Structure formats: C-alpha cells, structure tokens
C-alpha cells in the first residue's frame, strides 16, 4: 500500500509542476527554474517506476529528493526569492503551491518511514535465530 501511495504522490508532484509551468515543454523562467522543473518531473516519473519494481529502495531514496527539492524551492521562492525570480515572494497561499506542499509532505514522510523500515529489516536478525 505504501508503494502505491508513493507512486501516486511522485506522479502527482510531477503533474503539479507540469501544470505550473503551463504544460510541456512549458515556460517557467528563468531558465534554471525551468530546467529544475524538468529534472523534478523526470525524477518523479523515474521514482514511480522504481517503486513499481524490485528497486523500491532506490525509488524511495529518489522520492526523498522529489519531495524535499520542491519544498526547499517553495520556501526560497516565497521567502527571500531566488536570482532573477522574485515574482512569487510572499505568495504563500497560491492554491497549486499549497497542493504541491501537501503532496510533497506526505511523500517525504512516507519515503522516510519506508527507508527506515528497509534499514531496520536489513539490520534485524532472521526469525528464529541470531
């Protein structure tokens, strides 16, 4: 169930950012922001695919970045602003941005818990023996 929620969340983060940039190829300036959006969207899809496979642990690691990256970008763009990108300063309640934060927050917690579970299952002794 966690993997299914993770897959949906990764794809939702990618979709929200495609919508925010105005579709594909999109126009979100400055150029470094647009490239960051593309990288995030690709990473979201790749993480979702990895969560579908036996490479779920790698998928969860990538999911952490898919969740944390845009949260940091949101805070920077709404707070102090970023180089040549000051249009969103103070725009903390933009509906699409808030929706993105909710999805990213859920994904961040889910990925962290899942990775913790993987770590504890690797370090625990086999049942019935040491």
- Where are the chain's structural domains? 2-123
At a CB cut-off of 8 Å and minimum separation 6, what does 28 contact?
A: 20, 21, 22, 34, 37
pLDDT of 77-119, one tens digit each? 999 999 999 989 999 999 999 999 999 999 999 999 999 988 8
User: 0.75 cut: is pTM over it?
Assistant: yes
């Amino acid at each position: 169930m966690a993997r299914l929620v993770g897959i949906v969340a990764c794809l939702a983060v990618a979709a929200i950012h495609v919508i925010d940039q105005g579709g594909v190829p999109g126009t979100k300036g400055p150029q470094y922001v647009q490239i960051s959006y593309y990288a995030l969207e690709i990473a979201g899809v790749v993480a979702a695919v990895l969560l579908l496979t036996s490479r779920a642990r790698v998928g969860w690691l990538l999911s952490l970045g898919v969740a944390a990256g845009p949260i940091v970008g949101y805070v920077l763009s709404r707070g102090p602003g970023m180089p040549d990108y000051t249009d969103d300063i103070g725009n903390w309640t933009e509906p699409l941005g808030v929706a993105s934060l909710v999805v990213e927050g859920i994904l961040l917690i889910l990925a962290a818990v899942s990775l913790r579970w993987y770590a504890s299952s690797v370090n625990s002794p086999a049942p019935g023996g040491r």
